[in-house]
Amino acid sequence: MSDPVTTGPHTTGPHTTGPDTTGSVMAGSRTTDSAMADIERDLLIVGAGPVGLYAAYYAGFRGLSAAVVDSLPEIGGQVTAMYPEKPIYDVAGFPAVKGRDLVAGLLEQARRFAPAFVLGQRAQTLEKDAAGVFTVTTDAGTRIRCRAVVISGGIGTFTPRPLPAGEGWLGRGLSYFVPSLEAHAGQDVVVVGGGDSACDWALSLEPIARSVTLVHRRAAFRAHEHSVARLRASAVEMITEAQVTAVHGDRTVESVEITGPGGRMTRPAQAVIAALGFTANLGPIRQWGLEVVGNRYLAVDTTMATSVPGVFAAGDITDYRGKVRLISVGFGEAATAVNNAAVLINPEEQLFPGHSTDSVPAVA
């Protein structure tokens, strides 16, 4: 079994298959094949974040072939897009692990079973035939046939809130995420926002950037008090009750204009990071007939089954009494969902497959 990677039509380059392409996902390469044949797998996982990657591994452990689809062009979901360099402290077995390293480890764990990755494509429609086989079609036209679905889409499709003064500067010095801290080494960086992401990025960039300025429109911060205290004790310039009202430069950003109670001021900047939060949307999944809670979560039972038979969910997107939204909780939910999906696909299978130490599962 190969592990193909395909992405949406907005990318270029030949479609490739084989083990090396899974590695290329982590490296950020892009492949596409508009004429790619339909994909047939036992299980489809919607969402390539940490929980989805663990579900892909566990599907292989249970002897199921799997495909993973995600609207983002790279694996890792919110972790890769929003805080790849941020330490995560609540994953079992790791006193601290960077988001990027966690995703890399999960990919390495999953790739032994060669899941098919369909990246840069959004799961659009869900259909089920009389034989109980699902067909999920993406917005790029790729059709994935499977016997069960696990939705691990986190918060769904998320869109960064724009910086009004930054219109036209995206990709020319303005960004909404920090995929690589080292890309900003020696730069003057302006971070806009007052939440955890803004403060974390400002603190992480402070040792390697030439200067870091944090601009927040309020006096109070939404970030953890400890992070704000660290900022006040650092070399980061904090300008509060102010906004970035203009971005200047030739082809790329060179400076920003900041307006606050004291009037206007200018700061040099080769990079502007707008960490203003994001809006989340379940998108086309709303049309799949699933029970939705609070306009953003999927109701599940103790087996992680949704209201549509054969469709399960795991991770932040799920909702039930006592739900705790942590990556570590999502891992357990993924295992529960996959085990129950395995029994649904083959009723002769046992729900509990035994511990991984009891036997070495066959590699696809």
pLDDT in tens, 171-219: 999 998 887 889 999 999 999 999 988 998 999 999 999 999 999 999 9
Q: Verify that 268 and 286 share a domain, yes or no.
A: no
Question: How many angstroms separate the CA atoms of 151 and 48, rounded?
Answer: 10
Question: Residue 107 pLDDT more than 70?
Answer: yes
Cα three-residue angle 274-277-281, rounded to 5 degrees: 130
Strand partners, 44: 67, 149
119 vs 5: CA distance, rounded Å: 7
Query: Domain tally for the chain?
Result: 2
Q: Is 316 annotated as a binding residue?
A: yes
214, 95: one domain? no
In this prediction, residue 16 has a pLDDT band, given cuts at 50, 70 and 90, of: very low
CB 275 within 8 A of CB 178: no
CB burial class (10 A; 0-12, 13-18, 19+) of residue 43?
A: buried
At residue 37 the predicted structure's pLDDT band, cuts being 50, 70 and 90, is low
Residue 362: band (very low, low, confident or very high) from pLDDT cuts 50, 70, 90: low
Dihedral sign, Cα of residue 121, residue 123, residue 125, residue 126? positive
Give the range among 24-33, 176-185, 268-277 with minimum mean pLDDT: 24-33
Average pLDDT over residues 115-122: 93
Instruction: With beta carbons less than 8 A apart as the criterion, state whether 256 and 272 touch.
Output: yes
Token pair, residue 289, equals 């007939």
Range of the domain at 61: 5-158+279-345
Question: What is the pLDDT at residue 12?
Answer: 27
What number is the average pLDDT over the span 16-37?
38
Task: Show which of 276, 299, 331 is a domain's final residue.
Answer: 276
- CA 214, 219, 222, 227 dihedral sign is positive
What is the amino acid identity at position 267? R
- 13 and 119 assigned to the same domain: yes
Annotation-wise, does 252 bind a ligand? no
What pLDDT is stored for residue 184 in this prediction? 97
CATH code for position 265: 3.50.50.60
pLDDT at 77: 86
pLDDT of 330-343, one tens digit each?
999 999 999 999 99
- Quick one: average pLDDT of 41-66? 97
Is the CB of residue 241 less than 8 Å from the CB of residue 218?
A: yes
253, part of any domain: yes
Percent of the chain at pLDDT > 70 equals: 87
One domain, residues 299 and 215: no
Q: Is residue 117 within 8 Å of residue 48, measured between CB atoms?
A: yes
Which helix (H) or strand (E) covers residue 111, if one does? Answer: helix 99-111
123 marked ligand binding residue: yes
Question: Alpha-carbon distance 298 to 305, whole Å?
Answer: 10
Q: Residue 341: inside a domain, yes or no? A: yes
Looking at residues 265-281, what average pLDDT do you find?
90
**Confidence tier at 26 by pLDDT (50, 70, 90):** very low
User: Does 36 map to a domain?
Assistant: yes
pLDDT at 276 over 50: yes
Q: Give the sign of the dihedral formed by CA 161, CA 286, CA 3, CA 50.
A: positive
| Whole-number pLDDT of residue 71 | 86
Higher local confidence (pLDDT), 303 or 32: 303
One domain for residues 92 and 132: yes
Q: Which residue has the higher pLDDT, 141 or 36?
A: 141
- Are residue 9 and residue 148 in the same domain, yes or no? yes
222-239 average pLDDT score = 94
CA-CA distance, 233 to 89, in Å (whole number)? 23
Q: Does residue 181 share a domain with residue 149?
A: no
Read off the pTM: 0.74
**354 lies in some domain:** no
For residue 78, say whether it is annotated as part of any ligand binding site: yes
- Binding site annotation covers 280? no
Asked if residue 44 and residue 119 are part of one domain, the reply reads yes
Q: 200 labelled as ligand-binding?
A: no
pLDDT of 34 over the 60 cut: no
What confidence score (pLDDT) does residue 158 get? 65
Do 11 and 112 have their domain in common?
yes
- Tell me: pLDDT of 141 over 80: yes
Instruction: Give me the mean pLDDT over the 100-117 stretch.
Output: 96
321 shares a domain with 182: no
Question: Is 107 a domain residue?
Answer: yes
Which carries the bigger pLDDT value, residue 67 or residue 98?
Answer: 67
